[in-house]
């Protein structure tokens, strides 16, 4: 009973599996995420700088910076940012499909040191006037940097609170629908004491020595507060982002930035797809010419393999990069290599005079150990690359790892299933269709007879 039902059941399961994979990847343009090198965008490496308060860059400090930068980038509306820790004191930031690379780099440069200072009223008035001014002279009054603070920063009092002590900030609206900024503090007691001491004075907010805002302290503030004023919606979003950005435990410096235009990325993608399609096509043709019917069945299994791997990328929302495509193509070679080992063993069994069913069973069984060992060594190598590598190395390792795993499954199970269907149903019985011609069989038998086997 089982012998008659096993192939139909396996066929039904395979059809369902392929259908689910196709559903997962269609439409391909929306389901497969492309990396920075294929979509264009910005790649920036940030160096974390120790300070007097934080003399050593620890893993915890690095994680805090990653979280703050992630909040900052999300606040700018950048889709699918990739933020990765590099070593012990660096962070790699990849921003695919950025429309304005200069703005994105500038935003990352602003992710720096935030300070709160008491600002004299006349300084606050001039700073607000300079924000709306168009002359470079007025703008210079409020613009500065960590190395060279602005005149408004220097004309204000000492720093009484730092961005590292700020928990977060959000753009919001008051009861009248006017834009405002809500913020939360990490040390409510300290902030309450400060705001009571400087009640009704201007609390200046400076980012990298540049003037951001100077709200008046209307009442004591503890765990949370709000910043109100004549703000537009864009103002509150910008200030909230800058407040979040300033909540860094240490300053950061951009040591490398690389901009990849969308045209170059599209060109790389097109050429890579052409190369992958050409390589796959040559492999399919080679298998049919050399191994005939088994080669054709292996090609069908290879198509299943490609669809399954793409579905894995889509479901896991993995990012496909140029090295990832290379790993994908390399794993196709692994899949073909497995089939080559199996089919060569199959031909040897046919040459030895075994029946077709026996040759298939023995060929797959005896080649399994070699196929398994070769795949496991590649899987282990790809796993180590993924765990220890960074950036695009991880993309290559990811597709190579899962591609090799899938190629092992398709070679051992799916190709075997196709072969069983053809052989069990006696669809094709001629040994020549399996790469073993009558002359090859006769020559092998004569050699065995001569040797006394």
Q: Where in the chain are the domains?
A: 2-36+262-451, 41-259
| Per-residue pLDDT at 355 | 78
- Sign of torsion over alpha carbons 370, 373, 377, 383: positive
Looking only at the bridges linking them, the beta strands covering 166-173 and 210-213 are unpaired
Which stretch of 107-116, 182-191, 407-416 has the lowest confidence by average pLDDT?
107-116
DSSP characters over 391-405: THHHHHHHHHHHHHH
CA distances from 238 to 133, 185, 215, 226, 451 (A): 18, 19, 15, 15, 87
Structure tokens belonging to residue 146: 């960590």
Domain pair 2-36+262-451 / 41-259, same fold: no
Helix (H, G, I), strand (E, B) or coil at 411: helix
The pTM for the full model equals 0.58
User: Could you give the CA distance from residue 1 to residue 344 in angstroms, rounded to a whole number?
Assistant: 33
pLDDT tens for residues 254-301?
888 777 665 555 676 777 778 778 877 888 888 888 888 888 888 888
pLDDT at residue 440 tops 70: no
User: Could you give the CA distance from residue 125 to residue 403 in angstroms, rounded to a whole number?
Assistant: 63
* pLDDT mean over 28-53: 77
Are 321 and 334 within 8 A, CB to CB?
Answer: no
Q: 41-259 has which fold?
A: Gyrase A; domain 2 (3.30.1360)
Per-range mean pLDDT, top range of 98-102, 148-152, 267-271: 148-152
User: Could you give the CA distance from residue 34 to residue 323 in angstroms, rounded to a whole number?
Assistant: 12
pLDDT at residue 37 tops 80: no
CATH class of 2-36+262-451: mainly alpha
Residue 159 CB-density burial (10 A; 0-12 exposed, 13-18 middle, 19+ buried): middle
Q: What is the percent of the chain with per-residue pLDDT over 70, rounded to a whole number?
A: 81
| Per-residue pLDDT at 119 | 92
pLDDT at residue 141 tops 60: yes
pLDDT at residue 431 tops 80: no
Are 17 and 75 within 8 A, CB to CB?
Answer: no
Nearest CA to 213 out of 109, 281, 149, 142 is that of 142
pLDDT tens for residues 67-81?
777 766 665 555 567
- Interaxial angle between packed helices 356-388 and 415-424, expressed in degrees from 0 to 180 and rounded to the nearest 10: 170
pLDDT at residue 146 tops 80: no
CA distances from 453 to 97, 223, 352, 354, 449 (A): 68, 90, 10, 14, 6
Structure tokens belonging to residue 85: 């820790």
Mean pLDDT rounded to a whole number for the chain: 78
What are the start-end ranges of the H helices in 198-261? 233-246
Looking only at the bridges linking them, the beta strands covering 166-173 and 114-119 are unpaired
Nearest CA to 70 out of 241, 236, 210, 196 is that of 241
């Amino acid at each position: 009973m089982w012998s008659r039902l096993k192939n139909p059941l396996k066929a039904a399961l395979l059809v369902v599996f392929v259908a689910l994979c196709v559903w997962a990847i269609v439409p391909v343009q929306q389901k497969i995420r492309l990396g920075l090198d294929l979509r264009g965008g910005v790649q920036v490496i940030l160096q974390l700088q120790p300070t007097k308060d934080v003399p050593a860059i620890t893993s915890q400090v690095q994680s805090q910076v990653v979280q703050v930068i992630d909040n900052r980038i999300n606040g700018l509306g950048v889709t699918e940012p990739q933020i990765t820790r590099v070593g012990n004191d660096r962070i790699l930031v990849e921003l695919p499909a950025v429309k304005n690379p200069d703005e994105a780099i500038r935003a990352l440069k602003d992710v720096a040191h935030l300070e709160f200072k008491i600002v004299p009223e006349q300084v606050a008035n001039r700073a607000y006037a300079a924000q709306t001014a168009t002359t470079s002279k007025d703008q210079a009054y409020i613009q500065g940097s960590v190395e060279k603070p602005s005149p408004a920063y220097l004309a204000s009092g000492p720093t009484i609170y730092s961005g590292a002590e700020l928990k977060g900030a959000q753009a919001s609206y008051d009861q009248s629908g006017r834009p405002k900024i809500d913020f939360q503090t990490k040390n409510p007691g300290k902030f309450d004491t400060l705001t009571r001491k400087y009640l009704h004075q201007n609390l200046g907010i400076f980012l990298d020595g540049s003037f951001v805002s100077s709200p008046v302290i209307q009442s004591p503030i503890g765990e949370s507060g709000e910043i109100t004023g004549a703000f537009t919606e864009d103002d509150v979003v910008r200030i909230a982002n800058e407040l979040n950005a300033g909540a860094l435990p240490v300053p950061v410096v951009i040591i490398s930035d690389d901009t990849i235009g969308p045209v170059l990325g599209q060109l790389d993608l097109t050429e890579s797809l052409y190369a992958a399609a050409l390589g796959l096509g040559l492999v399919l043709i080679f298998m049919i010419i050399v191994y005939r019917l088994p080669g054709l069945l292996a090609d069908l299994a290879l198509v299943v393999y490609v669809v399954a791997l793409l579905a894995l990328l889509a479901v896991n929302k993995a990012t496909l990069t140029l090295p990832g495509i290379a790993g994908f193509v390399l794993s196709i070679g692994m899949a073909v290599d497995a089939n080559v080992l199996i089919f060569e063993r199959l031909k040897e069994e046919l040459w030895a005079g075994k029946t077709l069913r026996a040759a298939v069973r023995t060929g797959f069984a005896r080649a399994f150990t070699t196929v398994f060992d070769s795949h496991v060594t590649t899987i282990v190598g790809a796993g180590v690359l993924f765990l220890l590598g960074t950036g695009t190395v991880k993309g290559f390792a990811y597709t190579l790892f899962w591609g090799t795993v899938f190629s092992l499954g398709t070679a051992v199970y799916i190709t075997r299933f196709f072969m069983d269907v053809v052989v069990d149903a006696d669809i094709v019985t001629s040994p020549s269709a399996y790469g073993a011609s009558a002359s090859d069989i006769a020559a092998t038998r004569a050699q065995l007879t001569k040797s006394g086997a």
